[in-house]
Amino acid sequence: MKHNYSDAALILVDVQHDFIPGGALEVKEGDQIIPLINSFQGKFEHVIATQDFHPADHGSFAANHAGKNPYDQIDLFGLNQTLWPVHCVQGTKGAEFHPDLDQGRWEAIFQKGKNPEVDSYSGFFDNARRGATGLGDYLKEKGIRKVFVCGLALDYCVKFTALDAQSLGFETSLITDATLAVNINPEDGAKAIKEMAAAGIHILTSKDL
């Protein structure tokens, strides 16, 4: 072990059926990061997962807006919103974690996207920062100072979770080989990494852990 992880948390973002091939909002090869994630969970004192967990009437679903299609942009209660296929609906298989993902050491799961009026890419706050999931306070109460972020999808929920972690004062690292992008535009994943690096987030691979 190259680091001391006693004050570090691993945050596994949205490794759920709907973001994996065959799911409603699939990330290409999204399942291929699961064995890698399992291989390093044991290095961390604290392992936490986030779960995209929408009600069926969520405002981010194109199907809930007449005449709109997935990936169209709308104004949703004052915020720009990309519309998505229906995904990660509470109580459906798509919202469940992939069964190959080892949950044995998870301390807590933070759900997000439950308010139908606002989307929530970050595991910390909704996109308008009107509401918090409790993840930030949880990490502070545990004395955690460093967070390592991976999972799905790099260009949305992983990026916003990492940026919020860094802005809350946690020393934040992205594990690049344990995350993949949706890439609506082909460069979105690469751009997300640049944005995170510019914010001071460490860009690592699992070999650096």
- Residues lying near Zn ion in the complex (CB under 5 A) are found at 52, 113
Instruction: Give CA–CA dist 41/132, Å, rounded.
Output: 25
Q: Which residues are catalytic?
A: 14, 112, 157
Least distance between Zn ion and beta carbon 113 (Å): 5
Single residue of 8, 11, 12, 157 touching ligand VGL by CB under 6 A: 157
Query: Of 180, 205, 178, 207, nearest to 192 (Cα)?
Result: 180
Coil, strand or helix: which one is 82?
strand
Which positions from 30 through 69 interact with ligand VGL, judged by CB under 6 A?
52
Residue 8 vs 25, nearer CB to Zn ion:
25
Selection from ligand VGL, Zn ion, none that 160 binds (CB < 5 to 8 A by kind) is none
173: which 2 tokens? 């690292």
Residue 62 vs 142, nearer CB to ligand VGL:
62
CA dist 52 to 49, 59, 62, 143, Å?
10, 14, 17, 25
Selection from ligand VGL, Zn ion, none that 61 binds (CB < 5 to 8 A by kind) is none
Q: Which stretch binds ligand VGL (CB under 6 A): 72-80, 153-161, 166-174, 193-201?
A: 153-161
The answer to whether 129 touches 120, Cβ cutoff 8 Å, is no
The answer to whether 89 touches 55, Cβ cutoff 8 Å, is yes
Instruction: Give CA–CA dist 107/63, Å, rounded.
Output: 35
Least distance between ligand VGL and beta carbon 145 (Å): 25
Q: Is residue 84 close enough to count as binding ligand VGL by CB under 6 A?
A: yes
Instruction: List residues binding ligand VGL (CB under 6 A).
Output: 14, 19, 52, 84, 121, 152-153, 156-157
